[in-house]
Amino acid sequence: MKRITLTLALLLSFAFAGLAQTPATLETAVAKFASAHSRTEVQQTANDFERLSLSDKTAWLPAYYASLVNTIVAFTEKDNVKKDALLDKAEKFLAQATKLQPQNEEIEVLRANIANARITVDPQKRWQKYGDIVETSLKKAEKLNPSNPRVTLLKAQNLYYTPKEYGGGKDKALPVVQESLAQFGAFKPASPLHPVWGEDQAKQILASCQKAEKTSKN
């Protein structure tokens, strides 16, 4: 009898513990996103950001992060149908964030990133349409805040992945990514919840560009 009572007490304690769990806040969702090291871990934060953005349509950051997470996952998705579906969702949340912050460089950088992801589905057919969006969005972002490191990072990425015959290449990307890293060193987000991503990507591009430069000199 004592064993049954103890077992019942344990079951009830677990049940009430489950009920006592609070929904994710933006703070916990951002922390979870910042510590993610895999596609799966990043994807797990999507539900939190989407739920937060739908529950509070007066705040732009939850919608921004919901869009960002879906874009990041889309870049790693090999199935083009699934990739476009993820980007459709990213654009839905981007539109919500844009309504709240129509003049925000972070949103314009994200818009350019979504367009870049769209291009990867079918570069030959999509380059003109989405390439124009990338260019227009980055120009607007740079005008809003030329010292934002993510603006410069995307410019460096575009040069990095553009063939030399079309005006790109690692040698062209090198000074731009160096500028981006200098900006990251001086960058101070408006709050701990504002975007800070991109520095690791910039360092990876820098290392690749420097390796290519060293190889060309040998």
Core vs surface per residue 27-39: b (16+ CB within 10 A) or e: eebbebbeebeee
DSSP 3-state of 59 = coil
- pTM, entire model: 0.87
Task: Taking residues 65-91, report their average pLDDT.
Answer: 97
Contacts of 150 (CB under 8 A, 6+ apart): 105, 106, 109, 195, 197, 198
For the stretch 195-206, pLDDT in tens is 999 999 999 999
If one counts every other C-beta atom within 10 angstroms of the C-beta of residue 162, the result is: 15
Q: Binning pLDDT at 50, 70 and 90, where does residue 213 land?
A: confident
